[in-house]
Chain A
Amino acid sequence: MAGLGVAAPIWWPDVAQAGEEHPYEGPYYVVFNASGGWDTTYLMDPKGVGEINRLYKEGDILTKGNHKFAPTAAHIQAGMSNEAFFTEFGSELLVVNGIDYSVNNHSPGARYMATGKLDSLAYPTFAALVAACKGPGCPLSFLTFGNYSNTGNLVAMSRIPYLPSLQKIANADSIEGQMRSPYHDDFVVDRIERALKEQTDAELSKMVLPRIERAESMLYAAQLNSKALQRVTPYIPKEIPKARLSQQAEIALASFKAGVCVSANLSIGQFDSHANNDADQMKLLPEFLEGITYLVRRAEELNIRDKLVIIVQSEMGRTPTYNKGNGKDHWSIGSIMFMGAGIRGNRVIGATDEKQFSVPIDAGTLQLDKESGVRVRPEHLHTALREFAGIDAHSMSKQFPLVVPEKEKLQGLWG
């Protein structure tokens, strides 16, 4: 095998249109990643049979509407229990169980779940793709806090590690970010911007190499579009929440509210519970659910809850048995959850059997069909997601096609 290469650049922003974007008003896409591989049998796909779970039995499984979930309230020290989570969001949640990740390793699993494509390093994540299609001029169009975040060279990825960082970049033309102390008089700024536009146009009119053409355009767009970051300032909270996901959520929400961001990739790690599965999962799953809840409640306060589309996922599941210690190893079957604008909740699609193997489904009816159904894989979900977001026909999506036969397309997944 040759070197570890990357895809060549294929897209760049139109300089003529840079800076003319209006605030992006939604939908806002949020992907929550349980990095390391979650144990779905302690969340939305409870089993309690055989040796799958030590903390509860089949008879302990709880329900809320059409959802079944593992009881966790008695086992957690902090965070949000399944009981509380499904009570608050069950009517909005769409769960898909029995997803076949096809691989057992973190890196390809994360890539596959994020992009819908297993055998390519070039494909963008859904979050990056939707940002590129819907908000190419937004200065923080695609925010990421970790996990697989490839952009396919369609859009720049933004990392804002801390809330105060937002303040640092909000007013770039003012001394120490103070609006009352501009570096230059306004007419100087206008002159500089006009000269830069002319200079960029002149560079692009030359016969330059595609990479240089792209770099010139990306640079110009990044600087000009960054002016819109001024709009973020009013939405930066004075209090910084302590929890990891809550901090990420605040950065994403301030950016959404300011109209400078389309999608955000939120992530916490350490789910890889080889050593002590139950203790680890009972610590991390409640933290994860609490983070999701924080985002939704804060979005409510900011009046943008009805514009959120939330995807909750991990790159793999955990084995149906414990290993020689108290851990569980990698398992290539798992689940995903969706909620938000346009998604009908209180539904569970797909399943795993008593040994935690995937049960195929009929793509047309979404009912279980062991004999001739489809094994739901990430490309099925991503094909549906692209359609749902209205970007399946976008030229950028077509540059990264997902091959799903017509008869395997999940009909009516969103309800």
Chain B
Amino acid sequence: MDFHKLSLVEQLEGLKKGDFTSTELTTHYLKRISSFDEQINSFITVTEEQALSQAKAADERYKNKNNLPLDGLPIAHKDIFCTKGVLTTCGSKMLSNFEAPYSSTVYDKLDKEGMVMLGKTNMDEFAMGSSNETSYFGPVKNPWNTEYVPGGSSGGSASCVSAELAPIATATDTGGSIRQPASLCGLTGIKPTYGRVSRYGMIAFASSLDQGGVVARSAEDAALILEAMSGHDPKDSTSLKLEKPNLVKDLDTPIKGKKIGLPKEFFEKEMPSYVEKSIEEAIEVYKNLGAEVVEVSLSNINLSLPIYYIIAPAECSANLSRYDGVRYGYRCEDPKDIEDLFMRTREEGFGAEVKRRILIGTYALSAGYYDAYYLKAQKCRQLVANDFSEAFKSVDVILSPTTPGTSFKSGEKTSDPIEMYLQDIFTIPANLAGLPGLSIPCGEHEGLPLGMQLVGNSLEESKLLQFAYSYQSNTNWHKKMPNI
């Protein structure tokens, strides 16, 4: 049976009805991984043994009729989430030998609901990158065309779901790392409101921007898992003190009469005509569903990229200081003294992009520069957030392209970091303002998928998913999968 053609929701129904077992489902995916992952390199670690034993336990519970809510459903985890006793590398040589001594809250929550971990997915080193070319474990390929990048940093998660090597995968988003690869791989990816999903055990890149989420094949699948991942965690002081949102139950709420805002600053930008066309068609779909479309202004939105490239590197420069070769992870050979140990461990253990950002961040926080860079960036960040608050007084969601275009070829942008950073121009603002954002497929160009982004007001993941679900109930873009 072609289990991978079933949606996650259908797989859950099948398991509940006893149409098939979790062991069958899990074995099917493990086989696909071993057959196809060589082409796309989406997994760093495949946890076959653990997956089969989790699947067996789920089957046992189904037999005894004490099954858990998501029992037996397979999932892949981005290798940024700590998983006890399993290699957790964050895509870096620095952690290439690191077996986490504890599990992240995200893993624990899904584990407690019965989900089966297939493995850990490849990613840009420490989540820094937009093409998944900075991974120590080699670049990830886009299943739609393996000469192209899958996007990043959650490129492994997007690539494996797109190639149907896993029905769904966890991911993280600091400046677009869920939405951009979702867009380039033809998937539904959602980053919830900052604080919705616990960051405990999710290896930090930029603490005030990082947020966990999922890449899935539909809004319906995404809602099912995001709901289970969400909720307050006392181990994360920035976690919102709120019950988990009701995402599944209200999914089919019609969007008739709701308002979509189009930020004029985004649409003033020159964009490829195929992007313009796809977005116009998507707007038409929404209009036909009874939504009203208006222009909004986010006047400070053009500051987003520079703000981000101060704040994210600044936070990362401190977050990555702990990788010093003293307690765990990579350590240089034969250090002369402590200074040498620190310097060579970090010189040898980090890749170029990580070092670039540590340097930028260290510089931005240095005495004499702090006010001009970091402090100013924080003030401007507030301006961007204010723009969104103002806009959400009159609209329900804000629509734009997710990325400037479809995917690009491997190596095409690696020599020009600025060109690479521009990949996230549409996605970064939501991180700065801590708002939920999602990307859904809305078109195609020369055989490569393209996504549109919806950004919602704080805590309105549910509304975003309703918009995505309505769209997907009336279009087929999300059903298109690459042939591998």
A and B associate: no
